[in-house]
Amino acid sequence: MNAPSDSGLRIRPYRDPDQAAVVALWRACGLTRPWNDPASDIAHCLKSREAALLVGEDAGGRVVASVMVGQDGHRGWMYYVAVDPDRQKSGYGRALVAAAEAWHNARGVPKSMLLVRAENARVIAFYRALGYEVEERVLMTRWLKTPPAPPGP
Ligand SMILES: CC(C)(COP(=O)(O)OP(=O)(O)OC[C@H]1O[C@@H](n2cnc3c(N)ncnc32)[C@H](O)[C@@H]1OP(=O)(O)O)[C@@H](O)C(=O)NCCC(=O)NCCS
Protein backbone atom coordinates (compact mmCIF):
# COMPACT_ATOMS: atom_id res chain seq x y z
CA MET A 1 0.00 0.00 0.00
CA ASN A 2 2.89 2.35 0.63
CA ALA A 3 4.33 2.34 -2.90
CA PRO A 4 3.21 5.41 -4.84
CA SER A 5 0.37 4.78 -7.30
CA ASP A 6 0.72 5.78 -10.97
CA SER A 7 -0.54 9.23 -9.98
CA GLY A 8 2.36 9.59 -7.53
CA LEU A 9 0.03 9.48 -4.53
CA ARG A 10 1.46 7.41 -1.65
CA ILE A 11 -1.42 5.79 0.23
CA ARG A 12 -0.83 4.63 3.78
CA PRO A 13 -2.78 4.07 7.00
CA TYR A 14 -3.76 7.18 8.99
CA ARG A 15 -1.55 8.10 11.93
CA ASP A 16 -2.52 10.36 14.86
CA PRO A 17 -0.39 13.33 13.71
CA ASP A 18 -2.48 13.38 10.48
CA GLN A 19 -5.63 14.47 12.30
CA ALA A 20 -5.49 18.23 11.66
CA ALA A 21 -4.63 17.73 7.99
CA VAL A 22 -7.39 15.17 7.48
CA VAL A 23 -10.05 17.29 9.18
CA ALA A 24 -8.95 20.32 7.12
CA LEU A 25 -9.11 18.20 3.97
CA TRP A 26 -12.64 17.02 4.75
CA ARG A 27 -13.73 20.60 5.48
CA ALA A 28 -12.17 21.86 2.23
CA CYS A 29 -14.01 19.10 0.35
CA GLY A 30 -17.35 19.89 2.00
CA LEU A 31 -17.60 16.47 3.61
CA THR A 32 -18.21 17.59 7.19
CA ARG A 33 -21.59 18.39 8.66
CA PRO A 34 -22.25 20.69 11.63
CA TRP A 35 -23.74 17.78 13.62
CA ASN A 36 -20.84 15.38 12.94
CA ASP A 37 -17.55 15.77 14.76
CA PRO A 38 -14.90 14.57 12.30
CA ALA A 39 -12.45 13.78 15.11
CA SER A 40 -14.94 11.40 16.67
CA ASP A 41 -15.61 9.79 13.27
CA ILE A 42 -11.87 9.15 13.01
CA ALA A 43 -11.67 7.79 16.57
CA HIS A 44 -14.64 5.51 15.90
CA CYS A 45 -13.04 4.18 12.72
CA LEU A 46 -9.73 3.48 14.43
CA LYS A 47 -11.47 1.39 17.12
CA SER A 48 -12.98 -0.98 14.57
CA ARG A 49 -11.26 -4.07 13.27
CA GLU A 50 -13.55 -3.92 10.22
CA ALA A 51 -12.68 -0.40 9.15
CA ALA A 52 -9.64 1.70 8.34
CA LEU A 53 -8.73 5.22 7.38
CA LEU A 54 -6.20 5.59 4.59
CA VAL A 55 -4.51 8.83 3.65
CA GLY A 56 -2.69 9.85 0.48
CA GLU A 57 0.53 11.85 0.61
CA ASP A 58 1.92 13.78 -2.30
CA ALA A 59 5.60 13.61 -3.23
CA GLY A 60 6.37 16.23 -0.57
CA GLY A 61 4.77 14.12 2.19
CA ARG A 62 1.71 16.35 2.53
CA VAL A 63 -1.62 14.66 3.24
CA VAL A 64 -3.80 15.60 0.26
CA ALA A 65 -6.31 12.75 0.08
CA SER A 66 -8.23 10.27 2.21
CA VAL A 67 -10.60 7.34 2.08
CA MET A 68 -12.30 5.54 4.96
CA VAL A 69 -13.13 1.89 4.33
CA GLY A 70 -15.28 -0.66 6.08
CA GLN A 71 -16.88 -4.00 5.44
CA ASP A 72 -19.66 -6.25 6.72
CA GLY A 73 -18.43 -9.51 5.20
CA HIS A 74 -20.43 -9.11 1.98
CA ARG A 75 -20.18 -5.46 1.09
CA GLY A 76 -17.25 -3.17 1.28
CA TRP A 77 -17.99 0.49 1.93
CA MET A 78 -16.03 3.62 1.28
CA TYR A 79 -16.58 6.99 2.91
CA TYR A 80 -14.73 10.30 3.13
CA VAL A 81 -13.27 9.92 -0.36
CA ALA A 82 -11.52 13.27 -0.57
CA VAL A 83 -8.86 14.93 -2.68
CA ASP A 84 -7.56 18.41 -1.86
CA PRO A 85 -9.46 20.77 -4.21
CA ASP A 86 -6.14 22.12 -5.52
CA ARG A 87 -5.01 18.61 -6.44
CA GLN A 88 -8.13 17.18 -8.05
CA LYS A 89 -8.17 15.82 -11.61
CA SER A 90 -4.68 14.33 -11.22
CA GLY A 91 -5.67 10.73 -10.75
CA TYR A 92 -5.57 10.82 -6.95
CA GLY A 93 -9.27 9.98 -6.62
CA ARG A 94 -8.79 6.98 -8.87
CA ALA A 95 -5.84 5.85 -6.72
CA LEU A 96 -7.89 6.18 -3.52
CA VAL A 97 -10.74 4.09 -4.87
CA ALA A 98 -8.27 1.45 -6.07
CA ALA A 99 -6.79 1.35 -2.55
CA ALA A 100 -10.27 0.96 -1.04
CA GLU A 101 -11.06 -1.87 -3.46
CA ALA A 102 -7.75 -3.56 -2.62
CA TRP A 103 -8.61 -3.31 1.10
CA HIS A 104 -11.99 -4.95 0.42
CA ASN A 105 -10.48 -7.57 -1.87
CA ALA A 106 -7.87 -8.51 0.74
CA ARG A 107 -10.75 -9.35 3.11
CA GLY A 108 -12.62 -11.45 0.58
CA VAL A 109 -15.39 -8.89 0.13
CA PRO A 110 -16.80 -9.21 -3.39
CA LYS A 111 -18.37 -5.79 -3.87
CA SER A 112 -17.34 -2.21 -3.19
CA MET A 113 -20.08 0.33 -2.50
CA LEU A 114 -20.68 3.92 -1.53
CA LEU A 115 -23.51 6.39 -1.07
CA VAL A 116 -23.76 9.60 -3.07
CA ARG A 117 -26.56 12.15 -2.99
CA ALA A 118 -28.65 11.76 -6.16
CA GLU A 119 -28.09 15.41 -7.11
CA ASN A 120 -24.31 15.11 -6.90
CA ALA A 121 -23.81 14.58 -10.64
CA ARG A 122 -20.11 15.44 -10.50
CA VAL A 123 -19.26 12.71 -8.04
CA ILE A 124 -21.53 10.22 -9.79
CA ALA A 125 -19.63 10.96 -13.03
CA PHE A 126 -16.34 10.33 -11.20
CA TYR A 127 -17.47 6.90 -9.96
CA ARG A 128 -18.92 6.01 -13.35
CA ALA A 129 -15.50 6.75 -14.89
CA LEU A 130 -14.10 4.12 -12.48
CA GLY A 131 -16.63 1.48 -13.55
CA TYR A 132 -19.25 1.98 -10.81
CA GLU A 133 -22.93 1.65 -11.67
CA VAL A 134 -25.97 3.20 -10.06
CA GLU A 135 -28.16 0.55 -8.39
CA GLU A 136 -31.68 1.70 -7.61
CA ARG A 137 -32.42 1.11 -3.94
CA VAL A 138 -34.58 2.78 -1.34
CA LEU A 139 -32.63 4.01 1.65
CA MET A 140 -34.74 3.70 4.80
CA THR A 141 -33.73 5.29 8.06
CA ARG A 142 -35.18 6.07 11.47
CA TRP A 143 -33.73 8.47 13.99
CA LEU A 144 -33.13 6.84 17.36
CA LYS A 145 -32.32 10.19 18.96
CA THR A 146 -33.62 13.68 18.37
CA PRO A 147 -32.46 14.58 14.86
CA PRO A 148 -29.88 17.36 14.61
CA ALA A 149 -31.20 20.79 13.67
CA PRO A 150 -31.14 21.35 9.90
CA PRO A 151 -28.36 23.62 8.65
CA GLY A 152 -29.17 27.32 8.87
CA PRO A 153 -29.77 29.58 5.86
C1 LIG B 1 -14.67 13.07 -6.27
C2 LIG B 1 -13.15 13.26 -6.11
C3 LIG B 1 -12.64 12.33 -5.01
C4 LIG B 1 -12.45 12.91 -7.45
O5 LIG B 1 -11.05 12.99 -7.24
P6 LIG B 1 -10.04 13.37 -8.44
O7 LIG B 1 -8.67 13.20 -7.91
O8 LIG B 1 -10.40 14.70 -8.99
O9 LIG B 1 -10.39 12.25 -9.53
P10 LIG B 1 -9.39 11.62 -10.61
O11 LIG B 1 -8.49 12.70 -11.13
O12 LIG B 1 -8.72 10.42 -10.04
O13 LIG B 1 -10.42 11.19 -11.73
C14 LIG B 1 -10.64 9.82 -12.02
C15 LIG B 1 -11.52 9.75 -13.21
O16 LIG B 1 -12.80 10.33 -12.91
C17 LIG B 1 -13.11 11.32 -13.87
N18 LIG B 1 -13.74 12.45 -13.21
C19 LIG B 1 -13.31 13.09 -12.12
N20 LIG B 1 -14.15 14.11 -11.82
C21 LIG B 1 -15.10 14.08 -12.78
C22 LIG B 1 -16.23 14.88 -13.08
N23 LIG B 1 -16.55 15.92 -12.32
N24 LIG B 1 -16.97 14.58 -14.16
C25 LIG B 1 -16.65 13.54 -14.94
N26 LIG B 1 -15.59 12.73 -14.73
C27 LIG B 1 -14.83 13.02 -13.67
C28 LIG B 1 -11.77 11.79 -14.40
O29 LIG B 1 -11.94 12.31 -15.71
C30 LIG B 1 -10.96 10.54 -14.39
O31 LIG B 1 -11.19 9.75 -15.52
P32 LIG B 1 -9.98 9.44 -16.53
O33 LIG B 1 -8.89 8.84 -15.69
O34 LIG B 1 -10.58 8.48 -17.49
O35 LIG B 1 -9.62 10.77 -17.08
C36 LIG B 1 -12.80 14.74 -5.80
O37 LIG B 1 -13.42 15.56 -6.78
C38 LIG B 1 -13.25 15.19 -4.42
O39 LIG B 1 -12.53 15.02 -3.44
N40 LIG B 1 -14.44 15.80 -4.34
C41 LIG B 1 -14.93 16.37 -3.08
C42 LIG B 1 -15.29 15.34 -2.08
C43 LIG B 1 -16.38 14.40 -2.55
O44 LIG B 1 -17.42 14.83 -3.02
N45 LIG B 1 -16.13 13.08 -2.37
C46 LIG B 1 -17.03 12.03 -2.73
C47 LIG B 1 -17.85 11.65 -1.55
S48 LIG B 1 -18.96 10.32 -2.00
**Residue 102: CATH number of its domain:** 3.40.630.30
User: Using CA positions, which residue lies closest to atom 48 of ligand 1?
Assistant: 116
Residues of the chain with pLDDT under 50: none
Tens of pLDDT, residue by residue over 96-127, are 999 999 999 999 999 999 999 999 999 999 99
Question: For the chain, how many structural domains are there in total?
Answer: 1
pLDDT value for 34: 86
- Strands 51-57 and 111-113, sheet pairing: unpaired
Report yes or no on 49 lying in a domain: yes
Report yes or no on 57 lying in a domain: yes
User: Using CA positions, which residue lies closest to atom 4 of ligand 1?
Assistant: 93
pLDDT value for 149: 77
Report yes or no on 40 lying in a domain: yes
Selection from 103, 81, 97 nearest residue 26 by Cα: 81
Report yes or no on 143 lying in a domain: no
pLDDT value for 111: 97
Separation between Cα atoms, residue 81 and residue 56, nearest integer Å: 11
- Strands 111-113 and 75-83, sheet pairing: parallel
Gap from CA of 145 to ligand 1 centroid (Å): 35
Separation between Cα atoms, residue 42 and residue 15, nearest integer Å: 10
What is the span of the domain harbouring residue 93?
10-129
pLDDT value for 46: 98
Report yes or no on 58 lying in a domain: yes
Report yes or no on 3 lying in a domain: no
Does residue 32's CB lie within 6 angstroms of at least one atom of ligand 1? no
Does residue 114's CB lie within 6 angstroms of at least one atom of ligand 1? yes
Report yes or no on 134 lying in a domain: no
Report yes or no on 26 lying in a domain: yes
Gap from CA of 105 to ligand 1 centroid (Å): 22
